[in-house]
Structure 1
Amino acid sequence: MNTFLLMRWPSARAAWLLAAIVGSLAGCSMSPRQQTPWPEAKPGPQAGPMPSVITQAQSRWVPVPWSHITGLDNDDLQEAWPAWQQSCLRPAPAWKTLCPEVSQLANASAAAQRQWLRQKLQAYRVESLDQRSEGLLTSYYEPVLNASRQPRAGYNVPLYAPPASLAQRKPWYTRQEMETTSAARAALRGKELVYLADPVDAMVLHIQGSGLVNLTEPDGRQRLVRMAYAGTNEQPYKSIGRWLLDQGLIRDASWPGIKDWIARNPSRVNELLWQNPRVVFFKEEALPPGITPPGPKGAQGVPLTAGRSIAVDRSSIPYGTPVWLRSQGPVTSLDKLVLAQDTGTAIVGAVRADYYAGSGAAAGELAGRMKQPLQLWVLWPK
């Protein structure tokens, strides 16, 4: 989920948002064959024979000694444990026996948690079916935007709840049809949840799947609510950054490049946005006042944890699986324990992950720039 379609156009307040869109919108995926392979860790002592390779629908899990997980002694596992506890609220069958132990270790030292990992779990290197172990890491986040309950000056871009006819017409109307045809507009009447100021902000939410909004009610009260994912029009996702590249309108789909194009072509904004026919529908979730809200729920059905949750291809890695993630690139270096708790339409393949960066501007900046090599190891019960 990375490159320009995601953010708003030129304004000082929107620079970070534009930066986050570049990765999601450009849609220029990195071929695993073009990536620099990671140096293979040297095997250390192994107690007993290795288990067999496990084959999933889209991946192979190759058993490796714990010495391959070179960052284990440096990662603060206590930061990862709350995410693991969330997954254990909806455990897969393979984890039902061990999840009580995960809960018991929540307040243990990182050293005790590391010892438990080595005793109870086996590390498996994730490979594609043709035995490639290098893949692509991108990132996503939860935008924080301003919204109005009713349309007013400066706030006239609606976010919709699912229309009643959504299940009767598949795929449903495209983004362009929703804005221009009388049948689609009639079906959406009364489904407006809130109004944003910027149509590119709305597309950001459609791509990221959820967002926090500072909502102004008709009586002037303000409160923070979450626009949570409630369905889509089932149209295919198309990258506006990719479209700009293909049309020869920009030479690269960086945030500054897309931002500059929009500034020079304000009359073509709708044309640009209509290149992505996919639209997300939302539901409103109230948030407790005065506290930091939990992350949005991922596909596993549990709240995501910033820096410790990833989206994966479910046919490669099941939800709720602890995963060791290693990525070194121009944006950041990661060598840490994460949990597979979400998925996405662009997250396809064995060694493919989308890293949940959290909410707000800093998370958006990281998410917008992230596109770098990846290795994954699943940690599975012995």
Structure 2
Amino acid sequence: MRIQMSLEKQSYDILLDHKAILQLPYEIKNIYKGQKVFIVTDENVYKFYANTLKSLLAEFNVSFVVVAPGEQAKSLAIYESVIDTLMEQDMKRSDLLIAFGGGVIGDLVGFVASTMYRGVPYIQIPTTLLAQVDSSVGGKTAINSHKGKNMIGTFYQPKLVIIDPDFLRTLPNFEYKNGMAEVIKSAYIGDVVLQEKLFKGQIKTLEMIERAILVKRNVVLKDEFDLNERMFLNFGHTFGHALEKQSNYEIAHGFAVAEGMLMAVHIGEKLGITPKHIQKDLRMILEKYDLGLLKSDPVTLIDDVFYDKKNTHGELKMIFITDIGKPVIQPVSKEALYECYHSQASK
């Protein structure tokens, strides 16, 4: 199936299906007339799929750039190293770049594509559930700074996204659970049916990915540059990003977002925004998909969340849930956050 991203400046297709990767040579020819293709991936993904890609793209002149796996790859040092290597491999402005891997690779390569030679064409091929339902779609690119996650980035759309659920067969169970947090987030901000099916455990992988992508697509089409509705996609991310940073990224993104969603519904409940049943149902779904509670102390994260990009004029724009599929943006002061956890902080 094809999902169209019809944006004002850059429209492209998301090709979603089992064995969609087999269409890669044909899809490249539709958007690119050259012969040189540069693929950036990480060591783990390269080990599994390098030979497959070389065989699929035998008619092209293919070069690889391979980086170490993990969140540490989203750094200025690795960003510069990737660009240097691409230049050494004689990549030109009109050549095609491919991000092949999980969310870290997608974010890093998207940022490389948007800035190298002031912009080169690229394709996103996400290989993890987390990247398939979230980071590969929407055109946000970023690397981390020592101040926080995704602080350095751009908006830059790919020429194509290819999502093949068959890649998930080699995905460790931990990484699958890591991606489920973003699926659950999508349900709570925009799809009642998805939330119900997740709650019952009655949904096939292809439909689950499609529904999560459509939630994100619908939001991005309304607000490509994160000025209003697109902030809904950050449900659970405010405290989640702070938790990742505080753990030096030893806590994986999805598990941090799961915790962040629980913090957001707790704060929303204290502020009279979120009904009480939301927290109970969300906790049950997270436990169902083994995204168990980290039991972190939210009070220790409050100072860090105010480094968030959504902090303006001393208030933080947080995403709260008024009902399933009905998110709202609400400015919150640091004092109000402390007050929401006053009983815990005073113990």
Q: TM-score, normalised by structure 2?
A: 0.27
Q: Which has the higher helix share?
A: 2
Higher-Rg member (1/2): 1
Q: Which has the higher strand share?
A: 1
Q: TM-score, normalised by structure 1?
A: 0.25
